[in-house]
Structure 1
């Protein structure tokens, strides 16, 4: 159940992530397309072509995010953005304003790629930008910037990178906190606070799941309904704290005697329900006898008092076309028979 909650939150996070990437694709397409149109009246045909190519790439990334891989779409967006920025820094863009666009790279990188990979990419990106700007003109001719502009551009970009990383870290921590909080509340809603076993609601959900599996795979399913004998006398003689200790210690014994795929639940008061998938009534009887014997041999020490307790168990196996309520009622009738026959026994046994 906790896993399903995490999957649900992750699915919602992925959906939001996909929407942001799709939105960025559309915005990138619109801006680069508009800039391409404006540059038609300029002197650089190369810039015009590159802007229209970038616009087409963002449009393709939008359709990829809708129909195909979100990871592929994000990769296309990031690296086409890097290439466009490299060209704008190298060429200067319009009136040497090309480098001003590099500031959008930091938030997009850490959001699309994640914090760690985004920071690695930004370090490489800034290194390439720095090489382009400080590359001597005699090596290759490119846009020329003043030393003051270069220094301030780098420092501003580092500041933007720090703020973007801080925001992304906070966003990731918030997501983890939501997952942890949801898991905690889900656990509280589905478990008994005293024994830490599954509660009645949780057990009912497990029974429905197992019944569906029985219908699919035609496998046996058995339940044990267990009740503590003369438990009221323990509370009356030693107090409710002693009764709580008895319930907690017996819960541990119950858990130790079942398999990983089994479910032990506090069904109500001093009643416990064992759900045993892939188990026939005969196999359930063997398990029940082991549990009964272990409880009989166990002593609970409370304030130097030795408390001995026994249990009675009713067994029922799910039959064809039987409902969950009918299964539990059958186990309850067998539990009643165990008590009628003298307690501290398994029925049918």
Structure 2
């Protein structure tokens, strides 16, 4: 059980999780304040021999505590908000019918309406508050005629309903504007996140975006007990081409390479620009052999580009290193393994694919990570 202001298990790394945390704190604060007043007035009613009111308020307190225990165990604040609002609706009806002390019970409807709209939001909360106002209008209009309620003056009835409606409208406007502002901030936050994860030149994921996908892929791999692989590729002699043809044409080559690679991989794979002239592919549900096959398919597609397509007088080639993820392996370790395979591909004359198995054979030892 965590404290009121402690962070939730999910890190506050996006706007939605922050909004969930805001509502969590709001709910618990409302509960604490409500529990204080329920306990205080239940005790005061008992001391003053108003046992019916005391027992009712005490019962409401027990219900609120039960709902709060439910929240602490399930963290389902949405259901809890409806349950708590239902308890408060019953309180409103009771206070109107009983009248409270010297017919002042209806005054507690004001904070209750505010709480309902705050808990349920500008849509559900406002409609429930309108239902409360309509119900109270019926009780106040006909209740005393049938002996259901104490006698309230007509002036009180009119002003009570009018001010209650005005308050609910005002609280709705505040909650509505807050929700709209939150939606705008959420959209802006999502745009910022998208920009931070995207390579602006190629439109692919950047290193940060790939890191996030890597962790998701690890979780999936552990869940279904199925591995994945990484292909790390580097454009051969790109720096020389950049110097020879200029950076603008070099940028066009990078974009063209990104487009060709994207067309050769599967929809379940993830392509990212790792940095400079390096690209990385997370190959979902792929063994080392499967990943090497896809990588060679990509290599051939790049090799088969016509020089006219790339606006230069020489063919573009790439070298690729492939590594399969091993359980417990960190992202750095996986990329280091793929980078060693890429380095071997460069040493073997470039324009080829090499795997961690090839690295192990080159070093004269078995690939222990696969044994």
- TM-score in terms of structure 1 length: 0.80
**Farther off after superposition, 148-157 or 175-184:** 175-184
**How far is 1:168 from its partner?**
1.8
Distance 1:241 1:7, change over 3 A: same
Q: Which residue of 2 aligns with 1:88?
A: 95
**How far is 1:133 from its partner?**
1.6
- Which runs of structure 2 are paired with 1:1-349 in the superposition (5 Å)? 5=14, 8-9=17-18, 11-37=20-46, 39-40=48-49, 45=50, 48-67=51-70, 68=73, 70=77, 73-135=80-142, 137-140=144-147, 142-204=149-211, 206-207=213-214, 210=217, 219-298=226-305, 305=311, 309-318=316-325, 325=332, 327-347=334-354
Partner secondary structure for residue 272 of structure 1 = strand
Distance 1:26 1:319, change over 3 A: closer
**How far is 1:284 from its partner?**
1.4
Instruction: Count the aligned residue pairs.
Output: 342
**In the alignment, is the contact (CA less than 8 A) between 1:265 and 1:273 conserved in 2?**
yes
**In the alignment, is the contact (CA less than 8 A) between 1:198 and 1:265 conserved in 2?**
yes
**CA distance in 2 between partners of 1:276 and 1:310 (Å):** 21
Partner secondary structure for residue 272 of structure 2 = strand
**CA distance in 1 between partners of 2:80 and 2:129 (Å):** 19
**How far is 1:154 from its partner?**
1.8
Distance 1:59 1:301, change over 3 A: farther
Distance 1:84 1:38, change over 3 A: farther
Cα root mean square deviation, aligned: 3.7
**In the alignment, is the contact (CA less than 8 A) between 2:67 and 2:83 conserved in 1?**
no
Partner secondary structure for residue 103 of structure 2 = coil
**Farther off after superposition, 108-117 or 23-32:** 23-32
- TM-score in terms of structure 2 length: 0.76
**CA distance in 1 between partners of 2:79 and 2:44 (Å):** 25
**CA distance in 1 between partners of 2:135 and 2:224 (Å):** 60
**CA distance in 2 between partners of 1:214 and 1:73 (Å):** 35
Task: Note the residue ranges of structure 1 that are not aligned, 5 or more in a row.
Answer: none
CA deviations on 1:135-191 (whole Å, 9 max, x unpaired) are 175444633333333222222111101111122223333443454444444444444
CA deviations on 1:274-321 (whole Å, 9 max, x unpaired) are 12243122211221122123333446989x956863322222334688
**CA distance in 2 between partners of 1:38 and 1:215 (Å):** 61
Task: Note the residue ranges of structure 2 that are not aligned, 5 or more in a row.
Answer: 1-9, 359-371
Partner secondary structure for residue 95 of structure 1 = helix
